């Protein structure tokens, strides 16, 4: 098996970093729109609506628009429902919490993915991973400081629920990805969201000034661009290589929080975030090691069969 060329690995990393920058920018725009009177449903609606033309351009320039055809409409519908609920909690965490803290809670996704993978997919999970899971939740306790007024418990609960739902979406995408391309999945997620969101959007739609409308449109365009970059990054580099780039979002969240809202992460966040990040990186490393071991074992079996 040929190894990917170094320039492709670098391209994958660069695209992932671009995606994380876009998604961090989207989070800042969501919080900015909310501060100007825009509601959660409006942010959700514009996020999905203006992502559709970007996804269509991405598909047209790549695999072709014919790839939107699917035989798994039900699977896409389930992914859309879970994804939308997860997006509600994700956007809600951004609104309820400072940007850096909301971003830090998202770093627990690999932790929840490990738990769900073991429980639902029966994936082998040894004491190394469970130790990383425990360490990660200790980091969450450091950041959240239960019982103190540092972070509202409701905000922490919303942030952790968002991460949990993102982990469920990851499992659904793993199953859908066996037959569907990433571009097809992104298209159906955005498109199927429209009939669900249009009613609440029209019911709660408000008048805004031109800048607020522009910010809402920006949420969709920047979020869609980030989603496309996430998808494209996996063309050039393995998941285990690009996922660690996700932690760069804390840099952007801290910068946006300071520039736009005059807020910096608390000392508890600076202490707990490295613990959560380290646990996530360790889980990613163990996943990569397990994949290599399985590949080596499979190659050995094939060699034995040929002898």
pLDDT of 101 > 60? The answer is yes
Residue identified by tokens 């996943």 is 287
d(CA 69, CA 191): 13
pLDDT at residue number 6: 47
pLDDT of 174 > 70? The answer is yes
pLDDT at residue number 302: 63
Residue 99 Cα distances to 181, 223, 254, angstroms: 32, 16, 7
Are 99 and 27 a contacting pair, CB within 8 Å? yes
pLDDT band, residue 93 (cuts 50/70/90) = very high
pTM exceeding 0.85: no
pLDDT band, residue 305 (cuts 50/70/90) = low
| Residue 227 in tokens | 């989603």
Residue 250 CB neighbours (<10 A): 25
Q: Which residue has the higher pLDDT, 111 or 212?
A: 212
pLDDT band, residue 165 (cuts 50/70/90) = very high
State mean pLDDT over 106-112: 85
State mean pLDDT over 119-135: 77
Of 259, 27, 21, 42, the C-alpha closest to 162 is: 27
The H-assigned helical ranges of the chain are 6-35, 40-49, 51-61, 73-96, 99-106, 109-120, 127-144, 153-176, 182-204, 210-236, 239-242, 249-261, 267-306
State mean pLDDT over 250-268: 90
Residue 275 falls in which region: left (phi positive, over 0), alpha (psi -120 to 50) or beta: alpha
pLDDT of 2 > 50? The answer is no
pLDDT band, residue 301 (cuts 50/70/90) = low
pLDDT band, residue 40 (cuts 50/70/90) = very high
Q: Which residue has the higher pLDDT, 172 or 122?
A: 172
pLDDT at residue number 5: 45
pLDDT at residue number 1: 42
């Amino acid at each position: 098996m040929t190894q990917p060329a170094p320039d492709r690995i670098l391209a994958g990393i660069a695209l992932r970093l671009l995606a994380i920058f876009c998604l961090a920018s989207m989070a800042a725009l969501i919080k900015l729109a909310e501060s100007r009177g825009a509601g959660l449903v409006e942010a959700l609606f514009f996020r999905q609506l203006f992502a559709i033309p970007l996804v269509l351009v991405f598909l047209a320039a790549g695999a072709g628009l014919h790839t939107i055809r699917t035989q798994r409409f039900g699977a896409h519908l389930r992914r859309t429902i879970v994804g939308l609920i997860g997006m509600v909690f994700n956007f809600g965490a951004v609104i309820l919490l400072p940007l850096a803290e909301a971003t830090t809670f998202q770093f627990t996704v690999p932790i929840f993915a490990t738990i769900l993978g073991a429980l639902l997919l029966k994936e082998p999970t040894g004491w190394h991973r469970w130790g990383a899971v425990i360490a990660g939740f200790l980091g969450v306790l450091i950041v959240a400081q239960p019982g103190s007024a540092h972070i509202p418990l409701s905000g922490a609960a919303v942030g952790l629920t968002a991460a949990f739902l993102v982990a469920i979406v990851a499992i659904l995408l793993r199953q859908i990805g066996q037959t569907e391309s990433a571009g097809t999945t992104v298209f159906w997620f955005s498109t199927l969201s429209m009939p669900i969101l249009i009613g609440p959007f029209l019911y709660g739609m408000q008048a805004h000034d031109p800048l607020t409308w522009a910010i809402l449109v920006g949420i969709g365009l920047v979020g869609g661009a980030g989603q496309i970059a996430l998808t494209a990054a996996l063309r050039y580099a393995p998941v285990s290589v690009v996922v660690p780039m996700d932690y760069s979002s804390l840099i952007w969240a801290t910068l946006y929080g300071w520039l736009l809202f005059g807020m910096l992460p608390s000392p508890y966040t600076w202490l707990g975030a490295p613990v959560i990040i380290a646990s996530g990186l360790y889980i990613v490393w163990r996943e990569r090691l397990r994949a290599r071991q399985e590949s080596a074992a499979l190659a050995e079996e094939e060699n034995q069969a040929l002898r």
